[in-house]
Amino acid sequence: MGATGAGKSRLAVDLAAHFAGVEVVSADSMQVYRGLDVLTNKVPLHEQKGVPHHLLSVIDPSVEFTCRDFRDHAVPIIQEILDRGGLPVIVGGTNFYIQALVSPFLFDDMAQDMQDCTLSDRLDGLGLINDDVGCGYERLKQIDPLAAQRIHPNDHRKIRRYLELYATTGALPSNLFQGETAKKWGRTSNSRFNCCFLWVDADLQVLDNYVNQRVDCMMDAGLLDEVCGISDPDAVYTLGLRQAIGVREFDEFFRQYLTRKESDKDRAVFSTNMLTVHDDQLKRLLDEAVSQLKTNTRRLVRRQRRWLHRLSKDFGWNLHRVDATRAFCCTTGDSWDKEVVEPCADVVKRFLSEDTAGLASTTASDGIGERELWTQYVCEACDKRVLRGAHEWEQHRQGRGHRKRVQRLKQNKSLMRPSES
């Protein structure tokens, strides 16, 4: 387990050198789809080093793949690996997938098991027609203002999911995994399998820098061509593979690029390589899209780390945290093995030998608060723009547009002061 870019997939392959029969089962909500191999950072075949990988590129990119779907696909695969005497290694940053796999109880089951007409009736009773999501956010604000603060008003998929869960369980989404409601869900005491949890982590600034560098490498590796292939002006970005971070961010660039390429008489401004467009506006849109991709990926890192802390604190998961910071910063070839692979291999060896006395949790606390996840900020200087979470607020405050508006407001206030006589 771990945040995006922490090295989970690399570690899984490296562990195969220490243990016989290792097979990797991907728990990544985007890598399960066919397509966008560069953007979703799938492990290339040559880097798999002959280790079998499951649930990579197996689902049609246009369909929805839920936690329940993942569980129903993954459990038989894991059981088959165990029956062969192998060692299944679950790898992924989609913590809800892993939680659904571990726990025999899933809220999706409650919603799925109800008759469609019953769910439709309940949604209608909430003032939300089955296919009408336009008023969903306002209704969610009435039902659960705290949950509404957390999500974007245009995130129709999550809005609908929250309303469905409320309709089928009666629980407020903001309380869904708290108190009595959380007792049966995700608890390792009720685990479907006997699990050893490894958390590959690193200093947040190191992860941020790595994410930025990785995006640049993805751009060089053909990310734009990939996203262009799936780009559609009429696309719904809350369904299937188009939910991936990096698709929506380039939407405006592709709209302008493709429109102008068809209509502009001066084809010299265009190039077969979209990275080298010669139009100032397109360059600006491309730079903004790349910057937004980096920002949104860094936000994902923070969400993933917060949830891992919560799995340890609130759900009692025995997470063995391995700090890979030195391995990221060190240039020597064996630093990864010494700092990450060997400590993790030692944990797994003791786990397999049932030496549980020596397996204390090594989860670190770095001040990440659950409350931050629900905090809403309003920027008065920027027309009451709403920001969600401390990271998004801080990124906004540091942005050039915000700083210019603040400076302009200060100048206007200075001009409005009465002159001293």
Per-residue model confidence as pLDDT tens digits over 236-286 = 777 899 999 999 999 999 988 888 776 665 444 454 567 777 778 889 999
Residue where the block lists tokens 């903001």: 174
Ranking 67-76, 82-91, 158-167, 268-277 by mean pLDDT, the lowest is 268-277
77's enclosing H/E stretch is helix 67-83
Q: Which amino acid is at 345?
A: A
pLDDT at 180 over 60: no
56-89 exposure pattern, b = at least 16 Cβ within 10 A, e = fewer: bbebebeeebbbebbbebbeeebeebeeeebbbb
pLDDT at 184 over 50: yes
What's the whole-number average pLDDT of the chain? 81
| Rounded Cα distance, 324 and 322, in Å | 6
Give how far the C-alpha of residue 46 lies from the chain's centroid of Cα atoms, to the nearest Å.
25
Amino acid 420: pLDDT: 44
pLDDT at 361 over 50: no
Give the residue extent of every domain in the chain: 8-106+185-374, 375-421
Amino acid 388: pLDDT: 66
228-244 exposure pattern, b = at least 16 Cβ within 10 A, e = fewer: eebbeeeeebbebbbbb
E-assigned strand segments in 75-216 = 87-91, 197-201
Per-residue model confidence as pLDDT tens digits over 331-342 = 777 899 999 999
Query: Where does the pLDDT of residue 390 fall: very low under 50, low under 70, confident under 90, or very high at 90 and above?
Result: low
Distances (CA, A) of 12 to 7, 135, 207, 243, 312: 9, 44, 19, 26, 21
75 SS3 class: helix
Per-residue model confidence as pLDDT tens digits over 9-22 = 999 999 999 999 99
Does residue 124 or residue 400 have the better pLDDT? Answer: 400
pLDDT at 358 over 70: no
Residue 97 and residue 108 in contact, taking contact as beta carbons nearer than 8 Å: no
Amino acid 232: pLDDT: 82
Amino acid 166: pLDDT: 76
E-assigned strand segments in 13-144 = 22-26, 53-54, 87-91
Does residue 395 or residue 30 have the better pLDDT? Answer: 30
pLDDT at 372 over 50: no
Query: Where does the pLDDT of residue 223 fall: very low under 50, low under 70, confident under 90, or very high at 90 and above?
Result: very high
The matching CATH number, chosen from 3.30.540.10, 3.40.50.300, 3.40.1280.10, 3.30.450.40, for 8-106+185-374 is 3.40.50.300
The DSSP line for 285-312 is HHHHHHHHHHHHHHHHHHHHHHHHHHHH
pLDDT at 228 over 70: yes
Does residue 419 or residue 86 have the better pLDDT? Answer: 86
What percentage of the chain carries pLDDT values higher than 70? 75
Amino acid 360: pLDDT: 46
Query: Where does the pLDDT of residue 186 fall: very low under 50, low under 70, confident under 90, or very high at 90 and above?
Result: low
Residues 6+ apart with CB under 8 A from 28: 40, 91, 92, 93, 94, 97
pLDDT at 215 over 90: yes
| Rounded Cα distance, 400 and 388, in Å | 19
Ranking 158-172, 267-281, 333-347, 388-402 by mean pLDDT, the lowest is 267-281
| For range 68-86, the mean pLDDT | 94
Backbone angles phi, psi at 199, to 5 degrees: -115, 110
